[in-house]
Amino acid sequence: MERFNRTIKLFGNENFEKFQNTKLILLGVGGIGSFALDSLYRTGFTQITIVDFDTYEESNRNRQLGSDDNIDRIKVEVLQEKYPGIEIINLRITEEWVDTFDFSSYDYILDAIDDIPPKVRLIQKYYKKLITTSGGAKRIDPSKIEYISIWDTFNDPFIRNIKKQLKRRGFKKKFKVIFSSESPLCIEKGSFMAVTAAFGLMMSSLVVQKILQK
């Protein structure tokens, strides 16, 4: 347990055991999700399932853990080697998959995907145990990241579209999202690891905080 000595000093043995007994599913392991995974794994979370369909590309190397020396390899398989003991599902996350997959055994669902239809469906169905993010690309200032009501977000065309879809489906419930108030600095998906990683680390922190607050 020397590996987790400093974690236990901070949280105590009882909370550390809670971390190990918490079951998580992480959707998307790119620039945001890979850092959430790394942080949670290093903190002692052992029951983690990751879901992604993609392979590593050269352009991923500016922000994604696992991408170095693994171009063209399947992301979830690389990360299972890097983080032994995690479970993997190699598939594209769609709205149909969200509707048919059994999420009941998971304590928290971590959503780091950037496809709008499945993201909207996740919020609709699982808002009570879902931790989700808005867009992390096109920004340079991690100090602008916060966890606020989705209805109070602004400056983000991506989350604006999600809000529009939720309203069309009659979803008006209270729900928070990891969000950056910084205005996008480019049109295409330029990215800076200091921000995308901070989104993932915020996601990891929220899991821990929610467990401690129970």
pLDDT at 188 over 80: yes
Neighbouring residues of 11: CB distance < 8 A, sequence distance ≥ 6: 19, 208, 212
Residue 97 has pLDDT above 90, yes or no: yes
The pLDDT tens digits of the residues spanning 116-164 come to 999 999 999 999 999 999 989 999 999 999 999 999 999 899 999 999 9
Residue 60, sorted as left (phi over 0), alpha (psi -120 to 50) or beta, turns out to be alpha
What is the tens place of the pLDDT at every residue in 56-83? 999 999 999 999 999 999 999 999 999 9
Residues 17-42 have pLDDT tens digits of: 999 999 999 999 999 999 999 999 99
The helix or strand, by DSSP H or E, that contains position 100, with its residue range, turns out to be helix 95-100
Sequence-separated (6 or more) residues with CB below 8 Å from residue 159: 134, 135, 150, 153, 177, 179
Q: What is the pLDDT of residue 1?
A: 76
Entry pTM = 0.96
- Which of the four pLDDT bands, split at 50, 70 and 90, describes residue 214? confident
Angle (CA) 71-134-176 rounded to 5° is 135
Q: What is the predicted pLDDT for the residue at 91?
A: 97
Scanning the structure block, which residue is given the tokens 């987790």? 4
Q: Looking at the predicted structure, is the pLDDT value of residue 189 above 90? A: no
Provide the angle, in degrees to the nearest 10, between the axes of the packed helices 193-213 and 33-43. 40
Tell which CATH architecture fits domain 2-213. Answer: 3-Layer(aba) Sandwich (3.40)
